[in-house]
Structure 1
Amino acid sequence: MKGQRMFFWFLSKPLILLRLKKAIVTIRSEINPILNRMIMRRNLLALILAIGGLNFAASAQTINSAKLDSFLNVLAANNKTMGSIAIAQNGKIVYQKAVGYADAGKQIAANTKTKYRIGSITKMFTGVIVMQLAEEGKLTVETTLDKFYPQMPNAGKITVAMMLSHRSGLHNFTNDPAYGGYMATPQTHEQLLSRMAAMAPDFEPGEKYAYCNTNFVLLGYIIEKITGKPYAEEIKERIVSKIGLADTYYGGKINVANSEALPYKYNGGWQEGPQTDMSIPAGAGAIESTPADLVKFADALFSGKLISNASLQKMMPVAESYGFAMGKSNLDDKIGYGHTGAIDAYRSILSYFPGDKVAVSYTANGGSISTEKIALDALRIYFNKPYALPVFAKPLALSSVDLDKYLGVYSSPGFPLKITFTKNNTTLMGTATGQAAIAFETTVKDVFTFEPAGIVIEFDTAKNQFTLKQNGNTTVFTKE
Structure 2
Amino acid sequence: MNKGAPKQTNNQAALSHKLSTYMKAQAKVNGFSGTVLITGKDAVFLREAYGLADYEWNIKNTIDTKFQLASVTKQFTAAAILQLVEKGQLSLDDKLNKFLPDYPDGEKVTIHMLLSHSSGLALGFKELALSTISADSAYNEIKKIPYAFSPGTNSGYSNIGYYVLGKIIEKVSGEKYAVFLKKNIFEKAGMKNTGISNNDSIILKKAKVYHHTENGLAHNPYINWEFNIGHDGAYSTVEDLALWDKVLYGTTVLSEEMKNRMFTSYNGHSFGYGFLINPFYNQGHQLIGHDGGFFGTMTSFNRYTDDGLLITVLSNNQSPAYMLAYGLAAICFGKDVELPYHHQKVKGNSALYPLFKGNYEDIKIIENDGKLYYNDLDLELFPESDTKFFRSDDDNRTVEFMKDSDGKYSMIKLTKAGVAEIRNKK
TM (normalized to structure 1)?
A: 0.67
Deviations 1:33-60, CA, capped at 9 Å, x for gaps: xxxxxxxxxxxxxxxxxxxxxx999766
Q: In the alignment, which residue of structure 2 is the partner of 1:450? A: 393
Unmatched runs of 5 consecutive residues or more in structure 1: 1-54, 397-439, 457-470, 472-480
Q: What one-letter code is carried by the residue in structure 2 that aligns with 1:159?
A: T
In structure 1, the residue corresponding to 2:25 is in which secondary structure? helix
How far apart, CA to CA, are the structure 2 residues paired with 1:99 and 1:254? Answer: 27
Equivalent positions of 1:96-111 (< 5 A) are 96-111=47-62
Equivalent positions of 1:1-16 (< 5 A) are none
Contact 1:263 1:274 (C-alpha < 8 Å) held by counterparts: no
| Residue 169 of structure 2 corresponds to residue 216 of structure 1 | no
In structure 2, the residue corresponding to 1:340 is in which secondary structure? strand
Q: In the alignment, which residue of structure 2 is the partner of 1:377? A: 327
How far apart, CA to CA, are the structure 1 residues paired with 2:332 and 2:112? Answer: 36
How far apart, CA to CA, are the structure 2 residues paired with 1:94 and 1:56? Answer: 11
Cα 1:306–1:297 shift into 2, 3 Å = same
Q: CA deviation at 1:185?
A: 1.8
Cα 1:196–1:181 shift into 2, 3 Å = closer
Equivalent positions of 1:252-401 (< 5 A) are 252=198, 258-266=204-212, 269-318=216-265, 320=268, 321-328=270-277, 329=279, 330-368=281-319, 370-394=320-344
Higher relative helix content: 1
How far apart, CA to CA, are the structure 1 residues paired with 2:129 and 2:62? Answer: 32
How far apart, CA to CA, are the structure 2 residues paired with 1:254 and 1:67? Answer: 42
How far apart, CA to CA, are the structure 2 residues paired with 1:168 and 1:66? Answer: 45
Cα 1:94–1:280 shift into 2, 3 Å = same
Cα 1:294–1:225 shift into 2, 3 Å = same
Q: CA deviation at 1:293?
A: 1.2
How far apart, CA to CA, are the structure 1 residues paired with 2:159 and 2:52? Answer: 29
Q: CA deviation at 1:377?
A: 1.4
Deviations 1:394-446, CA, capped at 9 Å, x for gaps: 479xxxxxxxxxxxxxxxxxxxxxxxxxxxxxxxxxxxxxxxxxxx9996599
- 2:30 corresponds to which of 73, 79, 92: 79
Q: CA deviation at 1:313?
A: 1.3
Percent identity at matched positions? 25
Computed over aligned residues only, the root mean square deviation of the Cα atoms, in angstroms, reads: 3.2
How far apart, CA to CA, are the structure 1 residues paired with 2:201 and 2:396? Answer: 28
How far apart, CA to CA, are the structure 2 residues paired with 1:452 and 1:394? Answer: 9
Count of matched residue positions in the alignment of Structure 1 and Structure 2: 354
Q: In the alignment, which residue of structure 2 is the partner of 1:52? A: none
Equivalent positions of 1:40-439 (< 5 A) are 61-90=12-41, 93-174=44-125, 179-180=126-127, 183-185=130-132, 187-188=134-135, 190-252=136-198, 258-266=204-212, 269-318=216-265, 320=268, 321-328=270-277, 329=279, 330-368=281-319, 370-394=320-344
Q: CA deviation at 1:270?
A: 3.2
How far apart, CA to CA, are the structure 1 residues paired with 2:334 and 2:16? Answer: 11
Cα 1:291–1:442 shift into 2, 3 Å = farther
In structure 2, the residue corresponding to 1:325 is in which secondary structure? coil
Contact 1:80 1:367 (C-alpha < 8 Å) held by counterparts: no
Unmatched runs of 5 consecutive residues or more in structure 2: 1-5, 347-378, 400-415, 417-426
Contact 2:116 2:273 (C-alpha < 8 Å) held by counterparts: yes
